[in-house]
Structure 1
Amino acid sequence: MLVALAACAALEMPGSAFQAVDSLVREALDSARSPAAQQKASLQRAEQAFGRDASALNRLRLAVLLATLAPPLRDDARATELLEPIADPGASAVGRFAAFVAGQVGERARMARERERSERERDKREEALRQQLEALRAIERGIQEREEKLRRPDK
């Protein structure tokens, strides 16, 4: 009987995974709303927990904090590395939520790349317009110099 109870206790109940993810989301939201010192402390606690026990839940907790806290604590690259082994849309609550967060982090990275590309294109257009403006000014100076020469009587 004792062995059967121990085996039942070792099994992860489906509801407990959802509760764990819910708790993790609550922790991330509370941390994101906290002052910077508390955010840093939350991140350190998550890093220590992951260092002691690299379980999927501790991995997810650390990744979620790294993905949701404000810069300079945010580290999307590390969050992605942490999420990659556990992200599985067809898996348990932890795997599905990891896949969701990984998708959000990936989308944020894509949008950042797109924004950088747009800024580079804008800078190129601005430089082309500056060059065109300078060329027009040079033409205008040339016209003004010719007009001056025509107005001056030759001596």
Structure 2
Amino acid sequence: MQYRCLVAAALLGIAACAALDPRTPQIVAVDAVLAEVAQTTRTAPGEQKAALTRAERAFLGEASPVNRLRLATLLASLPEPLHDDARAAELLEPLADGNVPGYGRFAAWLAGQVAEHARLSRELERAARERQVGDKERDKREEALRQQLEALRGIERGILEREERLRRREN
């Protein structure tokens, strides 16, 4: 009996410590933000825009860490044209601290993802520009070769016509 009471008291003490942990509400709030964003990314574009507008209004009304995190996560997760890496990074900067559980750690992770996405986007744009320049150069070379081929055909026709005239004179 005493053993059961001791175990129950220990469990109650552990539960009380967990309930008093100031980080627990932050972790629950981060989970709620993730659930909301996951649901929003699966909705129609009109609903996505409405969710982003609601998050912007909530942030403008109260610039709390959870509202800041919600808006930044939506901006980082939604597809174009709603996606905005620069704004998401700007919103995450004050929160991002990998040593702070809850908002800080998630914001630091998301800021890293946003930075990587922005880097990949820049790399893709650079590669597209390089390809476009390469395509233009190839087109110029092809046109120059076409012109050379036409010139050679003209020379060949001229030679054939001259030979034909010479044959007619000889006959």
Query: TM-score, normalised to structure 2's length?
Result: 0.77
Moved over 3 A (4+): none
The answer for the alignment partner of 2:82 in structure 1 is 73
Deviation at 1:119, TM superposition (A): 0.9
RMSD over aligned Cα atoms: 1.8
96, 101, 111: which one aligns with 1:92: 101
SS at the partner of 2:153? helix
Give aligned pairs, total: 145
Q: Distance in 2 between matches of 1:135 and 1:45?
A: 58
Q: Distance in 2 between matches of 1:99 and 1:124?
A: 37
Deviation at 1:108, TM superposition (A): 1.1
Q: Could you tell me the percent identity over the aligned residues?
A: 45
Letter in 1 for 2:156: E
- Change beyond 3 A, Cα 1:148–1:38: closer
Q: Deviations over 1:90-135 (max 9, x none)?
A: 1231011111111111111111111111111111111111111111
Q: Distance in 2 between matches of 1:119 and 1:71?
A: 18
- Change beyond 3 A, Cα 1:12–1:81: farther
- Aligned: 1:15 with 2:24: yes
Q: Distance in 1 between matches of 2:106 and 2:152?
A: 68
Letter in 2 for 1:66: L
Deviation at 1:60, TM superposition (A): 0.6
Q: Which has the larger radius of gyration?
A: 2
Q: Deviations over 1:21-80 (max 9, x none)?
A: 111100111111122332223222222221222111111111111111222222222111
Residue segments in structure 1 that go unaligned for 5+ positions in a row: 1-10
The answer for the alignment partner of 1:7 in structure 2 is none
Residue segments in structure 2 that go unaligned for 5+ positions in a row: 1-19, 167-171
Within 5 Å, give how 1:1-155 maps onto structure 2: 13-153=22-162
Deviation at 1:149, TM superposition (A): 1.7
SS at the partner of 1:152? helix
Q: Distance in 2 between matches of 1:12 and 1:50?
A: 26
